[in-house]
Amino acid sequence: MVMPRVCMRKIREVLRLKFECGQSNVNIGLSCGMGRSTVGDCLKRFANTGLTWPLSQEMDDARLEQLLYPTTYVDAAAKVLPNWNEIHRELLKKSVTKQLLWEEYKAANPDGYQYTQFCHHYRQWRKTIDLVFRNDHKAGEKTFVDYAGQKVPIHDPRNGEIRYAEIYVAVLGASSYTYVEATLSQGLVDWLESNQRAFEYFGGTTEIQVPDNLKSAVKKPCRYDPELNPAYYQMARHYGTAIVPARSRKPRDKAKVENGVLVAERWILARLRKRKFFSLEELNEAIKELLELLNNRPFKKMEGSRRSVYEQIDRPALRPLPDRRYEVTEVKFSKVNIDYHVEVDEHYYSVPHTLVGRQVEARYTKNTVEIVFNNRRIAVHKRSYQKWKHTTLPEHMPESHREHAKWTPERMLRWIGESGPAAEAVAKKIMDSKPHPQQGFKAVLGLIRLGDKYGTDRLDKACERVLFIHSPNYQSVKSILKSGLDKKPLPQPKQQPDPIQHENIRGAEFFH
């Protein structure tokens, strides 16, 4: 039976209790927290060395251990230590385990450490490296994203107004390779575009992206089932990555990015604190220069840099970027109005009239608006930026509305103009009085029907009269035709008396 090696502090206490206090092996074991047989083994080893108690002052622990455990000491000194930097980086690769690395180590060093000691020494080595690198994130597995707490002022050179730029930070889990940029807000579009530029900087995407619970990423935070912002979800689908938000009150979920933010603030923002920036582009150029220095900066307690570890570990494991660059898409859920239109950014777009009252999903970019129902595209429109106007496709209308939609203000004026200039003028005034010309179509059609009933000549005469009395509307024309007033001549304008002529009256022209 091989007895365990005892630390030198306990061995010295065993020798003191035995030779100074005369205690039995049982009592010594109880006092030192070891078995009686272990106490006996220590005393036997001491006797075999030929040493006497008390020990000389020159006898340090290393020399005493060499004398008490000569075989163990020599073996330990002769063992080949693994390259812990290399072991650590290999463990970051997918499917690589400590058991596999130990087997490879033992194959090259048959007299090397056994598996338990191998793991023990690795854990001890990990304690010596920076906290940010003590992680279990596999290569290409996770990207951590967040905004820094600090903001950078941007001065408008025209009016001196100051805006504060947000600082976006993304960190790859395995290598800690970092991307930093400034944006004008944490809004949805800025958030999506920052993520997109981070993917392009990294040259690929990871399996998982871990954001904090900001509104642009998570619509409804929940520890167990958070609801993602639909636009963020669409972007993740395009790039083939999964979104797993950090859990609230779980600091280890976002420790990587928080350390990345801290490094970015100290290494980049602190160096820019005395500079004055006049545009977002100028600020991002300065950040870009310092970012390259940060990623190329050698580690203090590890071999290499963020970039070298990224090139060796993360980059080969990243998923490739899609062929088509993502077009930032915003998403809105809307209920179809009774007029079979949905409102998107203060403009109305049509959908099939059969979906009135149903909820649809609008996905809109800078150029297009796509309407989706039950995960099926039902309409595509060109994006319009006219406020509160309508974009309508004929095939979305009920049959009765399609015939009505064939009429335009110009066509209506040409048609009623056949009845005479006065009729055309009244029709134009009716349409001009409405917020939308189409709202006057019904009244104009009423005038045309009056022409069919009474004749176009009488209609034009009636319209002359309503223009004369400044009442251009359908009801006035109808009343005049019904009463026959259109057959009577229009009243002549009253003659103004001749101005009085007198030498003392100068007239208005004198004062001009």
For 189-235, the pLDDT digits (tens) are: 899 999 999 999 999 999 989 888 777 777 666 555 567 788 888 88
State residue 98's pLDDT score. Answer: 80
Whether the per-residue pLDDT at 338 is higher than 80: the answer is no
Of 356, 374, 397, the position where a domain reaches its end is 397
DSSP string, 84-125: HHHHHHHHTSTT--HHHHHHHHHHH-TTS--HHHHHHHHHHH
Number of domains in the chain: 5
In terms of domains, do 198 and 273 share one? Answer: yes
In terms of domains, do 249 and 119 share one? Answer: no
Please, which pLDDT band fits residue 436 given cuts at 50, 70 and 90?
A: low
In terms of domains, do 223 and 235 share one? Answer: yes
In terms of domains, do 286 and 193 share one? Answer: yes
In terms of domains, do 187 and 309 share one? Answer: yes
Tens of pLDDT, residues 390-405: 888 888 887 765 555 5
CATH number at residue 166: 3.30.420.10
Q: Is residue 498 part of a domain?
A: no
In terms of domains, do 387 and 458 share one? Answer: no
In terms of domains, do 17 and 100 share one? Answer: no
In terms of domains, do 58 and 185 share one? Answer: no
Structural domain harbouring 100 = 79-128
Q: Which residue has the higher pLDDT, 125 or 486?
A: 486
Q: Is residue 22 part of a domain?
A: yes
Q: Is residue 347 part of a domain?
A: yes
In terms of domains, do 354 and 482 share one? Answer: no
In terms of domains, do 87 and 202 share one? Answer: no
Report yes or no: 219 and 340 within 8 Å, Cβ to Cβ.
Answer: no
Counting Cβ atoms within 10 Å, is residue 186 exposed (0-12), middle (13-18) or buried (19+)?
middle
Tens of pLDDT, residues 59-114: 887 788 888 877 544 444 457 778 877 787 777 777 678 888 888 888 888 888 88
Q: Is residue 239 part of a domain?
A: yes
State residue 75's pLDDT score. Answer: 46
State residue 1's pLDDT score. Answer: 44
d(CA 286, CA 268): 9
Per cent of the chain over pLDDT 70 is: 85
Residue type, 84: W
DSSP state of 510: G
- Read off φ and ψ for residue 384, nearest 5 degrees: -120, 140
- Residue 11's nearest CA partner among 2, 1, 51 is 51
Residue type, 139: A
In terms of domains, do 230 and 287 share one? Answer: yes
Pick from 118-122, 161-165, 183-187: least confident: 118-122
* pLDDT, mean over the chain: 83
Residues with Cβ within 8 Å of residue 464, at least 6 apart in sequence: 422, 490
Per the DSSP assignment, residues forming a β-bridge with 370 are: 363, 380
State residue 250's pLDDT score. Answer: 59
Pick from 131-135, 244-248, 425-429: least confident: 131-135
Per cent of the chain over pLDDT 90 is: 31
Tens of pLDDT, residues 130-159: 544 445 677 888 999 999 989 999 998 888
- Residue 463's nearest CA partner among 433, 435, 431, 486 is 486
Q: What is the average pLDDT across 277-298?
A: 94
In terms of domains, do 262 and 118 share one? Answer: no
State residue 494's pLDDT score. Answer: 61
Q: Is residue 99 part of a domain?
A: yes
Sheet with 359-364, side-by-side order of all strands: 330-335, 359-364, 368-373, 376-382
Tens of pLDDT, residues 1-24: 445 556 778 888 888 888 888 888
Q: What is the average pLDDT across 266-290?
A: 93
